[in-house]
Chain A
Amino acid sequence: MSEKEIFDKVVKILGPYVRNEAGLKDIEHKTNIVTDLQVNSSRLVDIILAMEDEFDIEIADEEADKVETVGAAVNLIKGKIG
Chain B
Amino acid sequence: MEEKIALVTGGGTGIGAACCRSLSDAGFKVGIHYNSSKVKAEELAASLPNCFIIQGDVSTVEGIDSVYDVIKKDHNGQVDVLVNNAGIALDNPIFSANLDDFQKTMDINVRGTWYMIKRIARFMIRKKSGRIINISSVIGSVPNPTQSVYGMTKAAIDNLTKVAAIELAQYNILVNSVAPGFIDTDMTKKIPEELQKEIFKKIPLGRMGQPEEVGDVVKFLATSGTYITGSIIHVNGGMYG
Contacts and interface: CB of A to CB of B under 8 A. Distances in A.
B42 interface: no
Interface string B104-141: 00000000000000110010011000000000000000
Nearest to A58: B72
A26 interface: no
Taking each of A42, A49, A61, which has the highest tally of chain B beta carbons within 10 Å of its own beta carbon? A61
A81 B125 CA distance: 24
Contacts of B125: 45-46, 49
B167 interface: yes
What band does the interface of chain A fall in when counting residues whose beta carbon is under 8 Å from B? under 10
Interface string B154-181: 0000000000000100100000000000
A45 B173 CA distance: 14
Nearest to A45: B125
A23 B170 CA distance: 25
Contact of A49 (B118, B119, B126): B126
A46 B171 CA distance: 10
Interface in A26-82: 42, 45-46, 49, 61
Interface residues of B, number: 7
Contacts of A45: 122, 125
B167 A49 contact: no
B167 A61 contact: no
Contacts of A61: 118-119
B162 to A, nearest CB: 15
B170 A49 contact: no
Nearest to A42: B167
Among A42, A45, A46, residue most surrounded by chain B Cβ atoms (within 10 Å): A45
Contacts of B170: 42
A46 B170 CA distance: 11
Contacts of B119: 61
Contacts of B122: 45, 49
A23 B167 CA distance: 26
A30 to B, nearest CB: 28
A20 to B, nearest CB: 20
Given A42-B167, A46-B125, A61-B119, 7 more contacts: A42-B170, A45-B122, A45-B125, A49-B122, A49-B125, A49-B126, A61-B118
10 contacts: A42-B167, A42-B170, A45-B122, A45-B125, A46-B125, A49-B122, A49-B125, A49-B126, A61-B118, A61-B119
**7 residue pairs, one from A and one from B, having the closest CB atoms:** A42-B167, A45-B125, A49-B126, A49-B125, A61-B118, A45-B122, A49-B122
